[in-house]
Amino acid sequence: MSDPTPSEPQQAPTRSQARSRAKAARTRRTGHVVYGTLGVVGELLITAGVLLFAFLAWQLWWTDVEGNRAQAQVVRELERDPVPSPTASASGPVVAPPRHDDPPVLAEPPHATTFATIQVPRWDGEPERPISQGVDRATVLDVLGVGHYPGTAMPGGVGNFAVAGHRTTYAKPFNRIQELQVGDPLVVRTADTWYVYRVTSTEIVAPSNVSVIAPVPGDPTATPTERLITLTTCHPMFSARQRFIVHGTLDYWAPVADGTPAELLGGAS
Amino acid sequence: MYGWLWRHLPGPAAVRVVTLVVAAFVVLAVCFLWVFPAVAPFMPFNETTVGE
């Protein structure tokens, strides 16, 4: 940078030398500011990346932790008839005898009221999930688990008892829906009644295909004669591009006071 | 930014490390309990319901 004249190498700086030295200092300062700013920007970007990972962990893991805890609590606090325990003379739990006459059907409860639970023996290890009225995310699906489509039939009713649940995140009640096979029992329990449905078909549809929850699935104008159940959830996993649909039909019902359905006692299907 | 923070924290290195770990935990806890639940509905992948 500096240009000392060969004839006087050790002399005090000339004016031009001082100028170039000041310029070098200025350059160094400017460089310091530029690199300092870049450093801060870099640190901010790294921080943003770490926070994004934290958000992923929250969405994919923590919502399950919180959801499972909250839903187990909701099931525990439900007011409902107790299942009879085996008497001294009888061995093993009391099996509820199936009934095929007209089952009792609840009226639709107010929004976000939990009125039933669902258990699926095929999903071994999954807890009993609460079913609540409504399918919006903030008040039902994210916090209460499974939601009942308002206006569709209630459990045991003629028509289509249609429910929705998360496939992933928020305790993912329908995470294992793809494991279901035709004939698998879906056991719904209200305060005093068991409703045992059996899977009849599964399908994958576009989200706009709302006729899957019609009283007669696929035919919104038809009058229902059967007692159906429909589970809806997202498909593929971690996406909302399509919907995974499971249809079932009522096999039998039984009062809770009569015992427990055989399907829940290990002798699945 | 973090260099500045490090230089301005009191105490020996071990104490500063503990302070920073606690601060990071607090920031994460605030995110998990309030920030993330608040921003999640605005995430594009959380658009799952269809209007009928």
Residue B41 falls inside a structural domain: no
Of A43, A62, A210, the CB nearest to B32: A62
Contacts of A154 (CB under 8 A, 6+ apart): A105, A106, A107, A108, A115, A148, A161
Distance from CA of A40 to the nearest CA of B (A): 5
Of the candidates A148, A234, A235, A247, the residue annotated as catalytic is: A234
CB-based contact B41 A135, cutoff 8 Å: no
Q: Residue A255: beta bridge partners?
A: A193
Cβ(A169)–Cβ(A63) under 8 Å?
A: yes
Q: Which of A34-43, A231-240, B20-29 tops mean pLDDT? A: B20-29
Of A62, A180, A208, the closest CA to residue B37 belongs to: A62
Cβ-based contacts of B28 with chain A (< 8 Å): 54
**Structure token digits, residue B20:** 């920073």
**Residue-wise burial string across A32-62, b where 16 or more C-beta atoms lie within 10 A, e elsewhere:** eeeeeeeeeeeeeeeeeeeeeebbeebbeeb
Give the C-alpha separation, A45 to A51, whole Å: 10
pLDDT band at B52 (very low <50, low <70, confident <90, very high): very low
CB contact under 8 A, A207 and B50: yes
Q: Is residue B25 domain-resident?
A: yes
Pairing state of beta strands A146-148 and A129-133? Answer: parallel
Supply angle C-alpha A105, A111, A112, rounded to 5: 95
Q: Taking CB atoms and an 8 Å limit, are A210 and B49 in contact across chains?
A: no
Strand, coil or helix: A124: coil
Is the residue at B11 inside a domain? yes
User: Is A148 one of the annotated active-site residues of the chain?
Assistant: no
CA distance B12 to chain A (A): 23
SS3 A11: coil
Nearest CA in chain A to B51: A208
Residue B26 lies in a domain: yes
Q: Is the pLDDT of residue A28 over 90?
A: no
B49 to chain A: which residues are within 8 Å by CB? 135-137
Query: What share of chain A has pLDDT > 70, as a percent?
Result: 92
pLDDT at residue A77, as a whole number: 93
CB spacing of A43 vs B36 below 8 angstroms = no
Average pLDDT, chain A: 89
CB atoms within 10 A of CB A66: 18
Mean of pLDDT over chain B: 86
Write b or e for each residue in B8-37: b if 16 or more Cβ atoms lie within 10 A of its Cβ, otherwise e.
Answer: eeeeeeeebeeeeeeeeeeebeebbeebbb
Question: Which neighbouring-strand residues pair with A185?
Answer: A198
Higher pLDDT, A32 or A118: A118
What's the CATH code, domain A78-264? 2.40.260.10
| Per-residue pLDDT tens over the stretch A82-93 | 888 776 566 677
> How far apart (Å, rounded) are the C-alpha atoms in residues A144 and A70?
7
How high is the pLDDT of residue A27?
80
pLDDT at A267 over 60: no
Which carries the bigger pLDDT value, residue B48 or residue A228?
A228
Q: For B1, which of A43, A55, A208 is closest by C-beta distance?
A: A43
- Quote the number of domains for chain B: 1
ipTM, two decimals, is 0.88
pLDDT digits (tens, 9 = 90+) for A131-178: 999 999 889 999 999 999 999 999 999 999 999 999 999 999 999 999
The average pLDDT across A13-23 equals 80
Alpha-carbon span B45 to A167, nearest angstrom: 13
Which residue range is the domain that position B26 belongs to?
2-36
Distance of CA A183 to the CA centre of its chain: 24
Q: Where are the domains of chain A?
A: 78-264
